[in-house]
Amino acid sequence: MNPENLLQHPLPTPKCTTGCPLIDRFLSGGVPTNSITELVSESGCGKTQLCLQLLLAAQLPTTLGGLASSSLYLHSEFPFPFRRLHQLSLSFRSSHPSLFASSDPLDRIFVHPLHSAEHLLDVLRRIDRFLEHPPTLFPLKLIIIDSIAALFRSEFENKPSDLKRRSVLFFKISSKLKLQAKTFGLAVVVTNQVVDFVGSSDGMNGLRVGNLGSLYSSGRRVCPALGISWANCVNSRLFLSRNEEVLGDESGLVETGSGDFVAVQTKRHIHVLFAPHLPNSSCEYIIVREGVFGVERTATDLQKRAIK
């Protein structure tokens, strides 16, 4: 039994690009390998969009920030958004024509449905052989579980015995994933849902997890599902939020008070709730046909001013 030599660790830790340089910079390179990254948001914020984009981006060679790997997508929310993945793959292919001239990126994405938490554990045990002897030339380096919350939210009741059984499962799943991540250098991404936060703001102090005092999405106060036990199981947690902002004088559409229309824009942000290697920060992003992209706030502000 010998300690690992930290000097021989690759520096920085290999990361998987998200396919957008701005979000990559925000995440200091992308999604780290050897660790579990969690994406938390309410539905419709772009968790799945970002996941699909990661499935494709992982195939890029390491010189372009990818992992030169194939990827596995385990989904518990049905149906699998195949049309969207196809759409993304077309634009992905056209932006890297030389890399995917002869092969289809979709060939390197494996998809498997999940029906329960026990099923997930079973699948994880079975992919060990798959990880050791990859069927393609590209080893599997990215596992995405979308979503972990859906597996747990139906099956367990809110009583002590069920909660205990649930948290034992959390730690089993997490330690299996971490073992695989470490042994095979995987990047693991799990998505999680939110629940409405009910309670006084004072009561939050003890339970507060992460950088933000309170999480708001769509004007509601929310907190990540699955409680504090699961929060102990992930290495980094990112929160995607969506909030409507009334466009003020920049657009010239100021509310006149007589019931006129108000221009409303949805602003999406990604926040670091906690991560061992990232500071407390946030980044605005948009979802377009070609995928999820970061927005440089200062640049858009400058643009707005220029238009004015």
Partner 1 sequence: MEVSRLPLSASQRGKLIYAGYTSLSSLSSVSSSELARDLNVSETEALEILKVASYSGWLDGTSGSHAIVNGAQTAWDMLHEEELLRRITTSSADLDDILGGGISCKEVTEIGGVPGIGKTQLGIQLAVNVQIPANYGGLGGKAIYIDTEGSFMVERVLQIAEACLEDMLDYDVLLHKGVQACQVKMQPKDFLANIYYFRICSYTELIAVINYLEKFISEHKDVKVVIVDSITFHFRQDFEDMALRTRLLSGMALKLMKLAKKFTLAVILLNQVTTKYSEGSFHLTLALGDSWSHACTSRLILYWNSNERYAYIDKSPSLRSASSPYSVTGRGIRNSTSNCKRIKMM
190 lies in the site for partner 1, by CB under 8 A = no
Query: With respect to partner 1, which residue has the nearer C-beta, 76 or 236?
Result: 236
Buried b / exposed e over 87-124, threshold 16 CB at 10 Å, is: ebbeebbeebeebbeeeebbebbbeeebeebeebeebb
Task: Please report the sign of the dihedral spanned by the C-alpha atoms of residue 8, residue 13, residue 19, residue 23.
Answer: negative
The CA-to-CA distance between both ends of the chain, in Å, stands at: 66
What minimum distance in Å lies between the beta carbon of 263 and partner 1? 33
Give the tokens for residue 253: 């559409």
Residue labelled with tokens 């238009």: 307
Report if residue 32 touches partner 1, rule: CB under 8 A: yes
Q: Contacts for 158-164 with beta carbons within 8 Å, 24 or more apart?
A: 163/227
Among 79, 135, 259, 276, binds partner 1 (CB under 8 A): 276
Strand order from edge to edge, sheet including 220-224: 194-196, 220-224, 215-217
List the interface residues with partner 1, window 236-265 (CB under 8 A). Answer: 237
198 touches partner 1 (CB under 8 A): no
Stretch binding partner 1 (CB under 8 A), from 44-52, 143-151, 227-235, 291-299: 227-235
Minimum Å gap between C-beta 176 and partner 1 is 9
Give residues in contact with partner 1 (CB under 8 A): 1, 3-7, 9, 11-13, 28, 32, 34-36, 160, 167-168, 171-172, 175, 178-179, 181-183, 205-211, 213, 227-229, 231-232, 234-235, 237, 273-274, 276-277, 279
